[in-house]
Amino acid sequence: MEARARKRKIGQTLVEYALIIALVAVAVISAMVAFSGGVQQNFGNSNSELQKAFH
């Protein structure tokens, strides 16, 4: 009985870790999508300024 309870507890822990990892992954992807427009704009501005400086 004790081994069965221990095995069930380990399984629950693995599922909890998997859910936490999935939640963190969704949060990271959401943050990347939210900031991607600003980053692209900044790189575009930098490229434009560099083009002006070398011409």
Q: Secondary structure of the chain in the HEC alphabet? A: CHHHHHHHHHHHHHHHHHHHHHHHHHHHHHHHHHHHHHHHHHHHHHHHHHHHHCC
- pLDDT on residue 29: 96
**Reported confidence tier of residue 55, pLDDT bands at 50, 70, 90:** confident
Whether the model pTM is above 0.85: no
- pLDDT on residue 18: 93
C-alpha 19/C-alpha 25 separation (Å) is 10
Residue 13 has pLDDT above 80, yes or no: yes
Q: Which two tokens stand for residue 23?
A: 């939640």
Residue 30 has pLDDT above 80, yes or no: yes
Q: What is the mean pLDDT of the chain?
A: 85
